[in-house]
Chains A and B, each alone.
Chain A
């Protein structure tokens, strides 16, 4: 059984770090794991995504269309670019934060205004999350990635210790406690 996860967001939101923690967890659970990311232009505020796959034996680092078990999206409209990857039974965890892309910032285009409703009526696995208030509760504006990962963790089988070790081995030492807290807050968003 292979589990496929896509993290998506905007440059600077910590997409790659979230995928690193997930990979560390999969490795600790004794699974094969592969990931693919794109650097370079993505770092200048463009769209960013990471494909993470784990299971007994993984070949392709890219997830085939229609086979993501989870899409974890850090920004609202970015999820629209990833839906083609979602499997029939897939879950789509979306933070409702909106970050204007440059065509919206310059007034050339409009930010679509009905995404949440559309997801609600068209994507049965869609779960809209309020990342901003979760971050407020955690006391930091830089932990969205771990909040979202916490939400994802509610659906995965890894034990609590594995997550804890994965976070400890991935984030900077002085941020461990903050991230453990953010993870739990994220996890509690899925009840």
Chain B
């Protein structure tokens, strides 16, 4: 079989392709974006599409699965929060064609607003979850997830992390197996989740989880590697690699199926070693489970809860290796940091120059423009999650009054506005706010590396499609003051912002200029 160096995300796409996946939908988000990009670029046999947000992406995949196609959706960890509503109920409904949800966590928050540990979602939503430890497994486990999904009538989550998603390694390629469409039958008791149907489906799910627990005990993705029995280490994900790197002689229980956990295997392993350690990134997910089984183990008392693990952190925790002072350090003068910044010629830069000059309180959102919070602009003052800015602006006004609204604006990118800003704009108008929203329309989803969206007028494969007209859209939800302006024309932009914040009714300014990197 052919061997190739692939990025973890490319391997995930390859796995889905080989498994006969027919439909794939996602919203971009680091570190998951390349999964769908690869799918659209390399595997034309799979119908791939960008969705406006993760919830829509998941719903497209759910519909496709119910209709009989093997389907995939992919998102970053915080994206799964957006898609959590369908997630918790599709767990009851199960699947027709296999349904696989790729979830990319970001320990270390390399490009995210938090370090949430989405292993909890598997337990909370009662879904099986697989966790690859390297790029080969990223492909293999994605493929396996489709089989488990169909065999146990459940969606399956594959959890990767930044160090899997953005790690390259050698992958042995396989052939695509065409699965075709499964027959579709209308089955309301399985798919219409009214209470009378949901209750028996919940019983079914609990039964399936027991069966999946047995599977987890026998599955080759969970395995004991006996070594020296003085010390045993239970580990998952990329942490397994660090353990093998720094404790090559110890016994290891490698968990590839993190939910449901392989309880019998855990007991066998714990009984076979003198001392038990658990090495996992972020929360004590395995540790709490193992301890609840009445097994003694060391875990978060010796490894950190925050940030990603490294071989050195594991080496220090398990072997006491301290590498401090082994290298020469340059101390002649402070070494300037190199924070990321807005590109030279970025349209957002003019926006933040003006907003800073007008001394407005700027409620921000997720995108390149979040960098407006950093020097030299320092002109963005709060920011949480995708689409939050407009709702928060309304909250500011409700709390501090319409005079405050005259000194504040929300800024939100084109893609983020489509993702989840529109509902909040409807709310602003409906609840009689007077706030000013600036849509930073640079014609592309820029932060994640230039993906098309409904405002760019192109699909994931570059085909022409309907292009959203922001002016018409915001007028339709009741905003009367709508103006489009080029931020490079700073005088006009400043005048416009000053006028609109002063107005005693809602305004939307469409700051329209292409991303400087867009050719």
Contact = CB atoms under 8 A, between A and B. Distances in A.
B373 to A, nearest CB: 13
A23 B337 contact: no
A109 B323 contact: no
A38 B336 contact: no
B469 to A, nearest CB: 30
A172 B416 CA distance: 33
Contacts of A159: none
Given A24-B5, A33-B169, A62-B163, A39 B111 contact: yes
A55 interface: no
Interface string A69-86: 000000001101101111
Interface string A19-51: 110011001000011111111111111110000
A42 B5 contact: no
Interface in A112-133: 112-115, 118, 122-123
A78 B5 contact: no
Main secondary structure of the interface of A (DSSP, over half): mixed
A106 B338 contact: no
B294 interface: no
Most B CB within 10 A of own CB, among A20, A36, A104: A36
Contact of B167 (A10, A27, A61, A113): A61
Contacts of B339: 46, 101-103
A112 B335 contact: yes
Contact of B245 (A32, A59, A104, A108): A59
Contacts of B26: none
A110 B333 contact: yes
Contacts of A59: 241-242, 244-245
B310 A45 contact: no
Contacts of B245: 59-60, 64
B327 A34 contact: no
A109 B312 CA distance: 31
Interface string B342-386: 110000000000000000000000001001000110000000000
Interface of A: 10-11, 19-20, 23-24, 27, 32-47, 58-66, 77-78, 80-81, 83-86, 101-104, 106, 108-115, 118, 122-123
12 contacts: A36-B167, A39-B166, A42-B340, A44-B342, A44-B368, A60-B238, A62-B242, A65-B327, A110-B336, A112-B332, A114-B332, A114-B333
Given A40-B447, A45-B338, 17 more contacts: A20-B5, A23-B168, A34-B168, A44-B341, A45-B341, A45-B343, A46-B340, A46-B341, A59-B245, A62-B163, A62-B311, A64-B310, A65-B326, A102-B339, A102-B341, A114-B332, A122-B330
